[in-house]
Structure 1
Amino acid sequence: MSNLTIVLIILVIYMALMVLIGLQGRKHSSNMQDFLTAGKQGTLLLVTGSYMGSHIGNGIVVGGAEYGATYGIGGMWYGVGAAISFYLFAIFMARVVYRNNYVTLSDLLEQRYGDKMTSIAVALLNAVSNIAVMAGQIMAGERLFQYIGLNPLAGAIATTTIVIIYSSLSGLWGVMMTDVIQVTVIVISVIATMIFIATQGGFSIMAQNLPATSFEMIPFDGETFIMMLGPTALFGLVSSTGFQRTVSCKKEKTAILAPVLGASLILLFVPLPVMIGMYGKALWPDAASGTIIFQVLFEAMPPLLAGLLIASICAAVMSTSDGILVTVTANIVSDIYHKHINPDADEKSLGRLSRISSVVIGIFALIIALQFSSLISLLSLSYTLITAGGLVMIVGAIFWKKATRQGALASFIAGVACVVINKMGVSLPYASVFPLIPSFLAYVIVSLMTQNKNAAAA
């Protein structure tokens, strides 16, 4: 029996087990609210594992190995940014979100600004951004099929289809439960892979075959460094999945502690996939960085170990995509349709719209996935988009009492406009974070100019 056959058998069995777990999640998603909040059954283990699972499957493992092959140890900065994002959420957002039961970003904005325009705008922006993140997850399925010599388009379509089916079954509870299992298997498998690499003299091979820049912590220019670290870290303050995990917690203490634990464990784990990518580059200098982790696993690792890690990566990719799909569905069905178009809609019609939305969202994510070649660049772009349009108004809604709805909308327009202008070819300095400057200025200036107007209207 070939290594590929063994790996595929393990993958099929593993995915079947994940579907069974998803079916168990149906008892925690009897209505729309429970579907989005896991019936408020989130324990410390469940929520911590889910925080880790949101980044550890594709971004940190597959993307980390890709950037390890490309940049060396400096490829770890995306993962460091992911950990920082959880710390920021725990410090600034978790308590407020939990106490006010903000299921989505729009819940917070609507309560603070009393204006449906800002909440709808951010719901749409968040949906677009998260669809791009989901597209990044689909790229992993595409790359696995590409590496084993199958049609990559078929891999992307298969990944999308499974994600749509799974998310409609389980809701947030199933997503979080499978996150815990995936993270556990991935961490154990990656550690075992590193031990195996060490026993094969892997560190000596890397030292001999890789250039000196591969061992520099920052081997690239400042703009690349900010692109890898900044948007990912700031995304923690506007993470819609963070909002849902927080309100799913049984206790406030869990809501605050879970992202801290998740961040700390991710920091310990981040260098490992990067070193796997470096090892692959040392063995095969001409190999494609995007599929380097699969080449290492298929060609340099024992079949059982390779099968477990590939299966857990694919399952984590799908579980992360499921969580995103639940979030985007909440933006469309709850934040826009139910709140502002048809407040009298019953659970049956909302459920039907959720299923339709899942299919449409999945198709859009698939189309985006087929347009990009760099995984982490796509993820960074999605984080840049939501932070550009939403970060200032969301943080300001909590910490600045003088903010107005006009200022919030101006902030949104200024930030998103900068992203669009940059994508149209106008070069902006440090484009991944530059939009925050005009967004902040517009927020403050317009809010101060409309203070008296809002007071008179009141």
Structure 2
Amino acid sequence: MALDLFVVLIYAAGMLVLGYYGMRRAKTHEDYLVAGRNLGPSLYMGTMAATVLGGASTVGTVRLGYVHGISGFWLCAALGAGIIALNLFLAKPLLKLKIFTVTQVLEKRYNPMARQASAVIMLAYALMIGVTSILAIGTVLQVLFGLPFWISVLLGGGVVVVYSTIGGMWSLTLTDIVQFVIKTVGLMFILLPICLYRVGGWDQLVAKLPASSFSFTEIGWDTIITYFMIYFFGILIGQDIWQRVFTARDEKVAKYAGTFAGFYCILYGLACALIGMAAHVLLPDLDNVNNAFAAIVKASLPDGIRGLVIAAALAAMMSTASAGLLAASTVLTEDLLPRLRGGKQSSLNINRLFTMLTGIAVLGIALVVNDVISALTLAYNLLVGGMLIPLMGAIFWKRATTSGAIASMTSGFVTALVFMFKDGLDANTPIYYSLAVALVSFVVVSLLSRSPQAETARAI
């Protein structure tokens, strides 16, 4: 596989070069965090789609397609629907705020204490988003090139940490647009057609799989609903996605280019599910279904072409890994660090330092976690369970109070952890119970505590 390895090395070198160009454009704090708030339609659409479609969306959806058939696309469908809703309904007010983090909205509505509490939850979420895709990168490199897992994680993840650190959002934007093109060509226009050809065409795929594989509800309504509860709402409040919204030049760019990115995510999910279905026909006895993507690439493609598709998969994973990494770093430097420094705001050099330190932490966590879907579920359970209710309350309920918001965050976060530990990461109970507990505590504590108007009057 020397030719494939050469192609992948060329791709990795290209990402580092683009990271260098991003560094040259990132001259200010705002450039580093939100690309100067100046992205046009093409760059915005590419970076939005690339951010969402990462390791879990690619490797995970192929695995779901292998096990559940076409209904495996629902994970990406939930993500795509979230992107559409975010850009149609929330992007306009968000762009007017000129902020950097989700938690700043809570500070504007409640007080700085709410911002600090929510920042801890958002940090945990963003770290796990980065871990998920670094983990997927390591899995692919391990299976395809026979490298030890820890070396695969450090090599693949190291490239992400380097280009993210030196150029921030500008590096991410430039690499994302190239990654968007590569993964579209590699997965949708090369791997999928070749897999269908190896099976014998669509008719043979239909003939060799049970009819249930072509049912859009085979995965189960409970799982479909859970995907929307976790991923749709997670997209609406995730720092990694909001930070991309903040890069748009204006609301029209966000509305139209963002909506297009959402529909692209849904089509991408269908393509990956079909690849998984073809893998089930060609490789029916896999020892580990988590390796379905890497196994079908290794078995179906010739040298050179295989390297291009590997690069396409790495493109999907690296874009999401870098998004989670920069999101975690931004929460640290914008929300948590100023409190420790007496309110002093972070500089460009501080941003770079903490992006590097966050990257090292993400690599370390990735070495001890071993399931991309579980890691993604953990991240979104903590985010949605802890932050959805107080954030929506901040926008839509005037009677909401700081005490209610903090109670909701704490109870939702803890409840999600308890039920993930009790019932497992794949269970539906963590998200349902955490949202229920968070809602009840938010409403009850808000009604029992002093109203925002009374607090204002008391302060005066």
TM-score by length of 2: 0.92
Percent of residue pairs bearing the same amino acid type: 25
Alignment of 1:274-313 (within 5 A): 274-287=273-286, 288-313=288-313
CA contact (8 A) 1:193 1:305 kept: no
SS in 1 for 2:304: helix
Alignment of 1:32-431 (within 5 A): 32-113=29-110, 115-147=111-143, 148-190=145-187, 191-200=189-198, 201-287=200-286, 288-339=288-339, 341-344=341-344, 347=347, 351=349, 353-425=350-422, 430-431=429-430
How far is the alpha carbon of 1:385 from its aligned partner?
A: 0.7
How far is the alpha carbon of 1:11 from its aligned partner?
A: 0.8
Q: CA RMSD in A?
A: 2.2
CA contact (8 A) 2:126 2:240 kept: no
Spell out, residue by residue over 1:84-130, the C-alpha distance to the aligned partner (whole angstroms, 9 max, x if none): 111221233211110111210122111111x2221111111111111
After the TM superposition, which of the residue ranges 245-254 and 364-373 deviates more from structure 2?
A: 364-373
SS in 1 for 2:205: helix
How far is the alpha carbon of 1:46 from its aligned partner?
A: 0.8
CA contact (8 A) 1:73 1:216 kept: yes
CA contact (8 A) 2:131 2:366 kept: yes
In 1, the alpha carbon distance for the partners of 2:141 and 2:197 equals: 29
In 2, the alpha carbon distance for the partners of 1:158 and 1:403 equals: 47
In 1, the alpha carbon distance for the partners of 2:374 and 2:201 equals: 28
The AA in structure 2 aligned to 1:284 is L
How far is the alpha carbon of 1:23 from its aligned partner?
A: 1.2
SS in 2 for 1:42: coil
In 1, the alpha carbon distance for the partners of 2:261 and 2:305 equals: 25
Spell out, residue by residue over 1:398-419, the C-alpha distance to the aligned partner (whole angstroms, 9 max, x if none): 2222211111111111211211
How far is the alpha carbon of 1:196 from its aligned partner?
A: 2.5
The AA in structure 2 aligned to 1:136 is T
SS in 2 for 1:217: coil
After the TM superposition, which of the residue ranges 291-300 and 68-77 deviates more from structure 2?
A: 291-300
In 2, the alpha carbon distance for the partners of 1:429 and 1:167 equals: 34
Unaligned residue ranges in structure 1 (runs of 5+): none
- Does the alignment pair 1:454 with 2:451? no
CA 1:367–1:212 in 2, change beyond 3 Å: closer, same or farther?
farther
In 2, the alpha carbon distance for the partners of 1:407 and 1:57 equals: 35
Spell out, residue by residue over 1:5-64, the C-alpha distance to the aligned partner (whole angstroms, 9 max, x if none): 111111111121121111111233212222001012211111111111012232222211
CA 1:346–1:246 in 2, change beyond 3 Å: closer, same or farther?
closer
CA contact (8 A) 2:234 2:380 kept: yes
After the TM superposition, which of the residue ranges 330-339 and 210-219 deviates more from structure 2?
A: 210-219
SS in 2 for 1:255: helix
In 1, the alpha carbon distance for the partners of 2:294 and 2:233 equals: 30
Q: For residue 435 of structure 1, what is the aligned residue in structure 2?
A: 434
In 2, the alpha carbon distance for the partners of 1:346 and 1:285 equals: 53
CA contact (8 A) 2:16 2:159 kept: no
CA contact (8 A) 1:64 1:277 kept: yes
The AA in structure 1 aligned to 2:113 is M
CA contact (8 A) 2:123 2:328 kept: yes
SS in 1 for 2:430: coil
In 1, the alpha carbon distance for the partners of 2:291 and 2:164 equals: 27
The AA in structure 1 aligned to 2:114 is T
CA 1:249–1:341 in 2, change beyond 3 Å: closer, same or farther?
same
The AA in structure 1 aligned to 2:376 is L
Spell out, residue by residue over 1:153-178, the C-alpha distance to the aligned partner (whole angstroms, 9 max, x if none): 11012122222211112211221221
SS in 1 for 2:246: helix
Unaligned residue ranges in structure 2 (runs of 5+): none
